[in-house]
Amino acid sequence: MLTELHAVPGNPGIGEHATLHPKVSGRDIDAITALATKLEVDLVVVGPEAPLVDGLSNRLKKHGIACCGPSAAGARIEGSKVYAKELMDRAQVPTARWEAFSDVQAALAAINRWRGPCVIKADGCTGGRGVFVCMTKVQAEKALHALLVDAQFGVSGRRIVVEEYLQGIEASITVLTDGTNVVPLHVVRSEKRRDLNDQGPNTDGMGAWLPVEELYEQQVEEAIEAGIKPALADYRERGMDYVGVLYADVMFTKTGPKVLEYNCRFGEIEVQSMVRAMDEDLLDLLHRTATENLEGVTIAEPTIASAVVALVDASYPKLERTEATAAIAGLADAAEMDDVEVFLGNVEATGKGKAKGVGSNGGRVLTVTATGATVEEAAALAQEAAALITFDGKHSRSDIAAAAGIFA
Ligand code: AMP
């Protein structure tokens, strides 16, 4: 049972439920460990991948603090695409054909040899933005240039993976694992491209929904057996425990499921979609995960649908922030609607007293979630609520869940 909640560094959204520690950076492992020790917390749940890659989980465990999130070795599955691909090959996980490069000419030669569309990915952490789906040679050349010559993602893009472009139904499969037991959570689908009709650059997500009626149960089971369990077995075989969340982006192709990538934490919009349709107590699940107590735990099938619409700013998904803080209006109106919940993302508190408000800090600013009897209903309600919220440079997709066939 939750008695006290603290957030590092937190924002005005979680600030409604938690004590915030804005002076502690989310990247400062020493400071986070010191704070957790001082507060004598029972559990630390790590949201983003970067502190896990840096070894936050190892450090907390050393201090006897339970942590839901894998060790630095575990987090490499997300921290390096090359590492993940090598693991997939070793564990015989089905994935797209690939090669790694750090030289433009060598990468170009391979792309010419392969022919057809390809996907170019920065090796390191890029917050979901270092992936370029290239349908033409010109696009591939541009992506190679951005990564290897212009170093748009710094050291994260110094090495790249070039892989075969796959077609099919893409879905996110997330499991909780305590190192021994694997508990699959709800399957979610999401929209990755920034613009309407799947146009524009890849993002870390413009919207999500569940349930995923486009897939048979058997296909999902196959993806867990072929795509998730062998990766976890590989960790075990090499003497490393993987404890926490493992979330795989899977392409369900004509020849079966293929893993596009692994993440060592929840996807933001994916988990928002899940929690809106989940009856189980998420805190209890995360605590059981961290304390190796998941035996016998199962998650009931969702009985309602949920949808998420992300509101981003004009420069998204560029990393640099171009706009000044923009006041956000209409939050209270949206939050008042039945079956709607708004999650604040990249925002900051503005003003004081009666002028107190929330301002957009660029990027993915907030997400509007809604539930309904069907995906269509949930998506329509989320769009209705999203329309009430305004800020300078606001951008969103009006066709979230189109791939579920709801606009047919
Ligand atoms: P990733 O971060 O590797 O999951 O890539 C981000 C997004 O790019 C995915 O969610 C897909 O929509 C797309 N993508 C990545 N790899 C491929 C691939 N091999 N074929 C087609 N689309 C891909």
For residue 120 and ligand 1, the question of a CB distance below 6 A is answered with no
Highest CATH level, class, for 6-75 = alpha beta
Chosen CATH of 168-290 out of 3.30.470.20, 3.40.50.1970, 3.30.70.360, 3.40.50.300: 3.30.470.20
Residue, of 4 and 407, whose pLDDT is higher: 4
Write the pLDDT tens digit of every residue in 73-123: 999 999 999 999 999 999 999 999 999 999 999 999 999 998 889 999 999
Domain with CATH 3.40.50.20 in the chain: 6-75
- Three-class DSSP labels, 102-122: CCHHHHHHHHHHHCCCEEEEE
Burial of 201 (0-12, 13-18, 19+ CB in 10 A): middle
Q: How is residue 3 written in tokens?
A: 């008695």
Side-chain-side CA neighbours of residue 334 (13 Å): 25
- Residues contacting 80, CB < 8 A, separation 6+: 123, 124
Phi, psi of 344 (to 5 degrees): -85, 140
Write the pLDDT tens digit of every residue in 372-400: 999 999 999 999 999 999 999 999 999 99
> Which residue's alpha carbon is at the smallest distance from atom 15 of ligand 1?
260
Domain with CATH 3.90.600.10 in the chain: 305-395
Length of the chain: 408
- pTM, to two decimals: 0.95
Write the pLDDT tens digit of every residue in 37-71: 999 999 999 999 999 999 999 999 999 999 999 99
Mean pLDDT of the region 21-29: 96
Query: Residue 128: pLDDT above 60?
Result: yes
Per-residue pLDDT at 133: 93
Q: How is residue 353 written in tokens?
A: 């007293």
Q: How far is the CA of 249 from the centre of ligand 1 (A)?
A: 8
The answer to whether the beta carbons of residues 66 and 243 sit under 8 Å apart is no
Query: Residue 407: pLDDT above 70?
Result: no
Chosen CATH of 305-395 out of 3.40.50.300, 3.40.50.620, 3.90.600.10, 3.30.465.10: 3.90.600.10
Q: How far is the CA of 164 from the centre of ligand 1 (A)?
A: 10
Mean pLDDT of the region 170-191: 97
Mean pLDDT of the region 30-41: 98
Say if domain 97-164 classifies as CATH 3.30.1490.20: yes
Domain with CATH 3.30.1490.20 in the chain: 97-164
- Nearest CA-CA partner of 214 in 399, 64, 55, 408: 408
For residue 165 and ligand 1, the question of a CB distance below 6 A is answered with yes
Per-residue pLDDT at 219: 97
> Which residue's alpha carbon is at the smallest distance from atom 19 of ligand 1?
165
Gap between the Cα atoms of 345 and 322, Å rounded: 17
Per-residue pLDDT at 351: 85
Mean pLDDT of the region 320-329: 76
Q: How far is the CA of 36 from the centre of ligand 1 (A)?
A: 36
Q: How much of the chain, in percent, has pLDDT values that exceed 90?
A: 86
Per-residue pLDDT at 40: 97
Q: How far is the CA of 129 from the centre of ligand 1 (A)?
A: 11
Per-residue pLDDT at 202: 87
Write the pLDDT tens digit of every residue in 280-324: 999 999 999 999 999 999 999 999 999 999 999 998 987 666 567
For residue 204 and ligand 1, the question of a CB distance below 6 A is answered with no
Per-residue pLDDT at 237: 96
Q: How much of the chain, in percent, has pLDDT values that exceed 70?
A: 98
Mean pLDDT of the region 199-220: 94
The DSSP 8-state label assigned to residue 188 in this structure reads: B
Q: How far is the CA of 206 from the centre of ligand 1 (A)?
A: 14
Per-residue pLDDT at 233: 97
- Residues contacting 207, CB < 8 A, separation 6+: 190, 191, 269, 307, 308, 309, 310, 379, 382, 396, 397, 400, 401
